[in-house]
Amino acid sequence: MLDRLTAPSFKEINNVDFIQTEKQVLRNNIPVWVLNAGDQDLVRIEFIFKNVDWDISNPLLASATNAMLNDGTTSRSGAQIADAIDFYGAFLQTEYGYDHAVVTLFTLNKYVANTLPIVKDVLLNSVFPVKEVQTFINNNKQKLKVSLEKNDFLARREFNNVLFGNNLYGYKATESDFDKLKTEDLQAYFKQAYHPQNCTIFLSGKVDETLLNTVENLFGDWKSSVTFTENKLVFAPNQTKFHLIEKPSALQSAIRLGFPSINRNHPDFSAMQVLNTVFGGYFGSRLMTNIREDKGYTYGISSGNATMAQAGYFVIAAEVGVDVCQNTLTEIEFEINRLKTELIPDEELTLVKNYLMGSLLGSLENAFSHADKFKNIYFYGLGYDYFDNYINTIKTITPSDLMKLANKYWDWGNFYKVVVGKG
């Protein structure tokens, strides 16, 4: 009979095995990274493009181009694209981030020959119809208007702007920015960004020779002579450390605290992941224990080390009652100083190490997640030894090491503090 009064025995995770990718190259030199794993007849095909030619005079042009890729080509309307993809039970999505634009197809292997040509049509022949552009503008202006009423949204975008200034990482969009979008500009940017010289393909799932041949046949002859400039951002952090956006009727204040910091390329990044987990990186963290469980100031508070290609930052985020906003800031500073002056108890650090190892192992549940882990290192010019170093750091880092890191990176006077609501 199962004894529900006794906790199950604990087993330490010693190693984490990664399914590694293999590189192939199409005849037009597009790199293709292949991760063949899984028993289901399902594949994910990703076309990833570096962000290029960002221009503050038309700041939403790049993101809008990505969002509207599926809205029509020279031979298909947006509705026809959607219907054709749905007919085969596939899924086509676009995604725009700080550093890359992505077009992703999920499809059954047996329908690759039917669905992948539609993706080719999108990548080579999108036209951005005038009617669809106007619909996009109207819808997104309304979405922005609604978002600007939310303290959390305001705090997040103000924080990014304070840290990075008016560039792709920090720009605060306005309704008038959407009015700058024109079909001819979208078509021109599409040609600048979506072409073979700027493309990397990732195949994951059940990748067979039929799929590889189909990709080669469809995209191996894709040609372009476009010249483009990869984004090289200039950062201009705000000189003022405290920023308050007053909302007199607010019941809660949204808080963002942090500073520009290291990204994944830095040798201290893995160790800072451990330190952050102790501080605010999981449900049992010190911030949650103090500010949620002990003080009851919030339902949730967290911290994290964000990494992008050209920068990184450390951030603490929470929404708290307006009457306890200052108290929350005081407790956050208290927890930072405690990590700088007191060694983390061995029992607490062991718990965090086990959590991190378990989280890493749990994040590798299928071929797609293994491919995602590879992308996390590939675009930073790193190899699989990054994960070996990360695991070794988790296992060997000491309370003394973490105290040194806290003193090296966390100076409360250098934190940017953004409050939306009542400070």
The 10s digit of each residue's pLDDT in 375-423 is 999 999 999 999 999 999 999 999 999 999 999 999 999 999 999 998 7
pLDDT tens digits, one per residue of 219-229? 999 999 888 88
What pLDDT is recorded for position 119? 98
pLDDT tens per residue across span 227-259: 888 999 999 999 999 999 999 889 999 999 999
The predicted model gives 91-98 an average pLDDT of 98
Each residue's pLDDT tens digit, 203-214 = 999 999 999 999
pLDDT for 14 equals 79
Cα of first residue to Cα of last residue in the chain, in angstroms, is: 56
For residue 36, the cross-strand partners are 205
pLDDT in tens, 175-205: 999 999 999 999 999 999 999 999 999 999 9
Q: Which tens digit of pLDDT belongs to each residue from 325-343?
A: 999 999 999 999 999 999 9
Inter-residue contact 38 to 371 (CB < 8 Å): no
Per the prediction, the chain carries an average pLDDT of: 96
Residue 3 predicted with pLDDT over 90: no
pLDDT of residue 182: 98
Strand partners, 203: 34, 45
Pairing, β 199-205 against β 416-421: unpaired
Q: Give me the count of residues in the chain.
A: 423
Residues above pLDDT 90, as percent of the chain: 93
Domains of the chain and any CATH numbers:
22-219 (3.30.830.10), 242-421 (3.30.830.10)
pLDDT at 228: 84
Distance CA 231, CA 99 (A): 8
- Predicted confidence at residue 389, as pLDDT, reads 97
Instruction: Give the model's pLDDT for residue 209.
Output: 96
